[in-house]
């Protein structure tokens, strides 16, 4: 359809595949209300109430009319769509099928009325596929919040209905991963629990099905004081009796159903289909033939290679075909633009793999650090899945090979300007070469783009196609220029282009079409107004993939309004593409051409000034966001939300600028920008990205000769390596920082690095070395009279005492630290130390006071969005609650902490929290759950080299096995734990006593 609108995610609109700029949040709220009520009038009072709630401004009606006027203009290009005034109010006249919400509801109505489960399941999958996230994402009004909850309930009901249909079809194995996550999110839903129990039973996991029943029974009793309903109790009895009636049908092996439609299990990453696509019939047919599966066993991996010159339409063809055949890949589609011919910012294979693994539902903490390990995990995740993988703009076989699945159930489509003979020779790729468009197709594309003028002037139209080298990208640019100059005959435009080509030196390339496409670019560029031409040139210098209009304004030294106007000129000329949220991007050829023009036209000092303004803009934005997120004073919730939205949207650009600045001479900006971003990334951003940014700061500081900045960046990088579980790298990095600080005479910074280096040795189980570093830090803090630092060092020395079994000495150190924190009125740290005292066996501690302080701390860190601090506070609070006997609450807080550690990528803290949760579950009588948590902790601790957590995990598994009456299996785990404890010279305490390991900070 020509126009589409979405509310099942961010409020968005697309016309002919192009995203429409919808303005600020309040204006998008207006459109969101009209889309929900599509085809029905909404009164002015209703609109004001739904858009502002109780906070409507004095002139809300006037603002509303302004928003409606702008929205009318925004959707004016969508055929049959208009916002009009009627007697009952304002009405959005639109086909309901053009709105994802109404399409979702319509598909669910058809599915529930279907005569059999197979079409019903397919219709439900299509309906759930429409969801892009939380409805009205980023918008916040009382009415939208209530509607969001309603729609999420509708989605949950749809997922439950689809689960039932798939169970009736015998497709239980496909449901298991998503059901596990859903049950954790909805622990009190009996229908969902029944589906999970039946799925587990049919997968041969009767004991797990029984445990699922026991889990919801406990939850219902604890939360509601009730028992499971009769239907769930009856299902449980059937499972225990192995009732044959539960066996269910056998799934049809010829056509596996897609898994439950969730973002984690069914990625749909394809870009939007291409407007006015023309021709390529033979090439599409050649690709279609690759879909025909041979008989017999699973075929080898199918790889298709689309090769051809720049601008010939490889990406457009690949995306068009991928959309045509997406139903043949029910497990989803993966896409990455490898930017293989971008000299400055090609996508690293490791980053592409990380993106794919994230899309496939792998948690950040589980993504391996090395490229080979990531490739192995990626292949494992794709095993058995029927997926399409589109690798766009590859430059070499080496860039593609690690991204190939290991299963014949997938199909890989690669586009490249290179013929990549190694792909054919080694991997058996089927090459489809794209030549220039045939003349009829080239003229046909012009006809689609500029209409009847082609019919009126067929000969000039053919000449124009030839002048554009019959390259689709050039044809589109030329067509936009022709459409902008309707009063000029095509013949004159062709003559103008021919004259311009004659003036260029680009035609010396022996007929290379890339030379001619540059001529077309140049022709289009020469017809731009001066201001737009300058914006185009300078935009080619931007290191990121897209730029917000405000960033373009900074780059060009104009106001945002003028930048937006000039970007509109470039968009109409097809030289930039408008994206959602006021962002703009460029085709890689156009970016390279624009940068080349800037190098030849703009003086070096002007280019450098433009990029310096850009760096200043991003540094100011990052600084403002950090001031809002981590304020000295009071900041409104709106400021907090705006800060988070800005920094999340700009994170890729901020990282790209740091990388670019470190290698192109913007060293001071790189150091400042990386330092500003560090707290945010460290507090909850991806640790891997934080490490990349901070490594850029190290290089930039070294280039500057700024040893202080280099030491700070190294200290930050050491912390990030530690959180990733790369302990030996962390120690080496900290040692570099320590040498610099010692030489600089910065005793405060030296003390901090000593403390952090001690924490690395703590993780490695080298307690003597850790204690030496902590004592050195304490000495420096005492010399400087820093009570907070002394208290911190005492706490860490107390942790070592506790681990080595000297609980008396540990309690004394904690008590001394507590006195210092009390004198400083640092209640957060007081509560933390009290939580440590609570972890010491047989030691009194003011638990109620600690819990109250920690609850207040939890509110504070949640308001700031500091996910790292929130995870730590939750862990501390769980220790206090476990000591109080509040095991359910302690387990809940630990599960939340685990989710945060995984999202952040803090693998070391994740292993510790898994063991803590295992201990709490065992104390609560859930031995099976405890065994599962300790099993995960063991694998993770072994991977990062944390031997103490390995020992705790083995000890926990042994205790859980003993509790389930399986002491024979417990023995080896107990022996292994004792061996590690002995190696570490740590006394082994029974897990059931909750000795409470001490968390690192």
Tell me the CB-side half-sphere exposure of residue 77, using CA atoms within 13 A.
Answer: 13
Tell me how far apart the alpha carbons of residues 270 and 487 are, in angstroms, rounded to a whole number. Answer: 38
DSSP assigned state of 13: E
Return the H-helix or E-strand segment holding 462: helix 458-467
Total-model pTM: 0.51
Query: Taking a C-beta distance cutoff of 8 angstroms, is the pair 593, 540 a contact?
Result: yes
Query: Taking a C-beta distance cutoff of 8 angstroms, is the pair 570, 536 a contact?
Result: yes
- 240: β partners: none
Residues in the chain: 1001
In SS3 terms, 410-473 reads as CEEEEEECCCCHHHHHHHCCEEEECCCCCHHHHHHHHHHHHCCHHHHCHHHHHHHHHHCCCCHH
Closest alpha carbon to 827 in 865, 855, 862, 802 = 855
Query: Taking a C-beta distance cutoff of 8 angstroms, is the pair 160, 186 a contact?
Result: no
Tell me how far apart the alpha carbons of residues 82 and 874 are, in angstroms, rounded to a whole number. Answer: 50
Tell me how far apart the alpha carbons of residues 501 and 212 are, in angstroms, rounded to a whole number. Answer: 73
Closest alpha carbon to 931 in 907, 912, 953, 913 = 953
Q: At what angle do helices 807-824 and 787-803 cross, to 10 degrees?
A: 160
| φ, ψ at 42 (rounded to 5°) | -125, 125
The two beta strands, 3-6 and 411-416, are unpaired
| Contacting residues for 735 by C-beta, under 8 A, at least 6 apart | 757
Tell me how far apart the alpha carbons of residues 398 and 678 are, in angstroms, rounded to a whole number. Answer: 32
pLDDT in tens, 72-94: 888 776 666 888 887 768 888 88
Q: Scanning the structure block, which residue is given the tokens 């009038």? A: 41
Three-state SS at 734: helix
The stretches of 290-435 forming alpha helices (DSSP H) are: 314-324, 349-359, 371-382, 397-400, 421-427
Return the H-helix or E-strand segment holding 557: none
Quote the pLDDT of residue 344. 55
Structure token pair of residue 926: 């859930």
Q: Scanning the structure block, which residue is given the tokens 């459109």? A: 31
- 6: β partners: 12
Query: Taking a C-beta distance cutoff of 8 angstroms, is the pair 178, 144 a contact?
Result: no
Closest alpha carbon to 44 in 79, 90, 106 = 90
Three-state SS at 416: strand
Return the H-helix or E-strand segment holding 263: none
Tell me how far apart the alpha carbons of residues 729 and 898 are, in angstroms, rounded to a whole number. Answer: 24
Structure token pair of residue 261: 């439609």
CB atoms within 10 A of CB 210: 17
In SS3 terms, 491-511 reads as HHHHHHHHHHHHHCHHHHCCC
Is 636 exposed, middle or buried (CB count within 10 Å of its CB: 0-12, 13-18, 19+)?
exposed
CB atoms within 10 A of CB 637: 9
pLDDT in tens, 664-720: 999 999 999 999 988 888 766 667 778 889 999 999 999 999 999 999 999 999 988
Quote the pLDDT of residue 780. 93
Tell me how far apart the alpha carbons of residues 738 and 179 are, in angstroms, rounded to a whole number. Answer: 49
Three-state SS at 368: coil
**Residues of the chain below pLDDT 50:** 1, 252-265, 294-297, 500-515, 633-638, 990-1001
Q: Scanning the structure block, which residue is given the tokens 């609450």? A: 889
Structure token pair of residue 378: 């990626």
Tell me how far apart the alpha carbons of residues 875 and 852 are, in angstroms, rounded to a whole number. Answer: 14
Structure token pair of residue 821: 């924190």
- 42: β partners: 90
Tell me how far apart the alpha carbons of residues 139 and 10 are, in angstroms, rounded to a whole number. Answer: 8
């Amino acid at each position: 359809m020509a126009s589409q609108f979405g509310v099942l995610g961010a409020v968005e609109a697309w016309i002919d595949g192009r995203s429409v700029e919808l303005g600020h949040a309040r204006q998008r709220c207006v459109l969101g209300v009209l889309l929900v009520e599509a085809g029905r009038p909404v009164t002015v009072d209703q609109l004001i109430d739904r858009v502002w709630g109780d906070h409507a401004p004095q002139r809300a009606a006037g603002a509303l009319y302004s928003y409606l006027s702008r929205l009318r203009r925004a959707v004016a290009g969508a055929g049959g769509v208009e916002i009009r005034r009627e007697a009952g109010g304002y009405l959005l006249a639109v086909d309901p099928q053009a709105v994802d919400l109404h399409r979702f509801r319509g598909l669910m109505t058809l599915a529930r009325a279907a005569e059999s489960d197979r079409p019903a399941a397919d219709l439900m999958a299509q309906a759930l596929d429409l969801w892009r996230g939380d409805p009205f994402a980023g918008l916040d009004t009382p009415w939208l919040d209530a509607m969001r909850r309603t729609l999420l309930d509708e989605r949950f009901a749809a997922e439950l209905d689809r689960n039932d249909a798939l169970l009736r079809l015998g497709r239980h194995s496909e449901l298991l991963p998503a059901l596990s996550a859903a049950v954790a999110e909805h622990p009190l839903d009996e229908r969902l629990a029944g589906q999970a129990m039946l799925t587990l039973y049919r997968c041969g996991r009767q004991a797990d099905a029984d445990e699922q029943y026991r889990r919801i029974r406990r939850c219902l009793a604890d939360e509601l004081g009730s028992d499971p309903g009769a239907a769930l109790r009856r299902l449980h009895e059937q499972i225990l009796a192995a009732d044959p009636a539960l066996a269910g049908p056998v799934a049809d092996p010829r056509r596996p159903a897609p898994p439950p439609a969730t973002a984690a299990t069914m990625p749909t990453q394809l870009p939007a289909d291409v407007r006015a696509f023309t021709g390529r019939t033979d090439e599409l047919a050649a690709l279609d033939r690759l879909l025909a599966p041979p008989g017999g066993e699973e075929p080898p991996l199918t790889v298709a290679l689309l090769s051809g010159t720049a601008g010939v339409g490889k990406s457009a063809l690949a995306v068009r075909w991928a959309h045509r055949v997406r139903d043949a890949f029910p497990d989803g589609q993966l896409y990455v633009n490898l930017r293989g011919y971008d000299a400055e910012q090609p996508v690293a294979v490791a980053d592409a793999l990380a993106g794919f693994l994230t899309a496939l539902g792998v948690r950040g903490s589980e993504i391996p650090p090395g490229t080979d390990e990531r490739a192995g995990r990626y292949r494992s995740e794709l095993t058995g899945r029927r997926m399409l993988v589109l690798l766009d703009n590859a430059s070499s076989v080496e860039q593609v090979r690690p991204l190939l699945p290991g299963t014949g159930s997938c199909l890989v489509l690669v586009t490249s300007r290179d013929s990549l003979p190694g792909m054919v020779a080694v991997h058996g790729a089927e090459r489809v070469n794209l030549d220039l468009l045939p003349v009829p197709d080239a003229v046909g594309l012009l006809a689609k783009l500029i209409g009847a003028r082609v019919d009126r002037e067929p000969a000039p139209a053919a000449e124009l196609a030839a002048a554009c080298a019959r390259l689709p990208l050039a044809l589109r640019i030329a067509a936009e220029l022709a459409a902008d100059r309707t009063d000029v005959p095509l013949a004159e435009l062709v003559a103008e282009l021919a004259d311009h080509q004659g003036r260029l030196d680009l035609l010396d390339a022996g007929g290379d079409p890339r030379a001619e496409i540059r001529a077309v670019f140049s022709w289009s560029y020469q017809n731009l107004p001066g201001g737009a031409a300058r914006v185009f040139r300078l935009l080619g210098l931007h290191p990121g993939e897209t730029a917000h209009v405000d960033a373009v304004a900074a780059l060009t030294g104009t106001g945002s309004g003028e930048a937006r106007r000039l970007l509109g000129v470039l968009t109409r000329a097809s030289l930039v593409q408008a994206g959602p949220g006021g962002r703009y991007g460029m085709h890689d050829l156009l970016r390279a051409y624009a940068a080349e023009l800037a190098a030849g036209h703009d003086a070096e000092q002007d280019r450098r000034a433009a990029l310096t303004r850009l760096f200043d803009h991003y540094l100011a934005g990052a600084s403002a966001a950090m001031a809002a997120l981590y304020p000295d004073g009071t900041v409104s919730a709106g400021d907090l939300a705006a800060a988070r939205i800005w920094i999340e949207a700009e994170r890729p650009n901020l990282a790209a600028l740091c990388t670019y600045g470190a290698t192109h001479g913007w060293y001071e900006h790189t150091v400042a920008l990386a330092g500003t971003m560090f707290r945010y990334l460290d507090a909850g951003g991806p640790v891997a990205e934080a490490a990349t940014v901070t490594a850029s700061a190290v290089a930039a500081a070294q280039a500057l000769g700024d040893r202080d900045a280099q030491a700070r960046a190294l200290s930050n990088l050491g912390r990030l390596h530690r959180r990733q579980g790369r302990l030996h790298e962390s120690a080496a990095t900290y040692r570099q920082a320590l040498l610099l600080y010692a030489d600089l005479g910065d005793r405060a910074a030296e003390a901090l690095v000593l403390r952090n280096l001690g924490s690395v040795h703590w993780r490695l189980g080298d307690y003597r070395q850790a204690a030496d570093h902590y004592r050195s830090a304490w000495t420096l803090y005492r010399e400087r009279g820093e009570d907070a630092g002394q208290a911190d060092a005492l706490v860490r020395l107390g942790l070592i005492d506790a681990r080595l079994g000297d609980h008396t000495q540990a309690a004394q150190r904690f008590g001394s630290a507590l006195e210092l924190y009390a004198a400083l009125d640092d209640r957060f740290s007081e509560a933390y130390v009290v939580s440590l005292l609570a972890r010491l066996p047989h030691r009194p501690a003011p638990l109620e006071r600690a819990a109250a302080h920690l609850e207040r701390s939890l509110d504070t860190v949640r308001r700031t969005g500091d996910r790292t601090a929130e995870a730590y506070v939750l862990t501390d609070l769980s220790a206090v609650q476990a000591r109080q006997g509040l095991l359910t609450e302690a387990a809940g807080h630990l599960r939340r902490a685990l989710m945060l550690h995984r999202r952040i990528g803090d693998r070391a803290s994740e292993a510790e929290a898994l063991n803590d949760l295992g201990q709490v579950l065992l104390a609560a009588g859930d031995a099976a759950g405890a065994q599962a948590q300790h099993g995960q902790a063991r694998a993770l601790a072994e991977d990062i080299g944390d031997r103490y957590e390995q020992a705790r995990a083995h000890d926990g598994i042994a205790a859980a096995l003993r509790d389930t009456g399986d002491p024979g299996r417990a023995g080896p785990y107990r022996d292994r734990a004792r061996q590690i404890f002995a190696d570490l010279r740590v006394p082994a305490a029974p897990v059931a006593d909750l000795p409470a390991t001490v968390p690192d900070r």
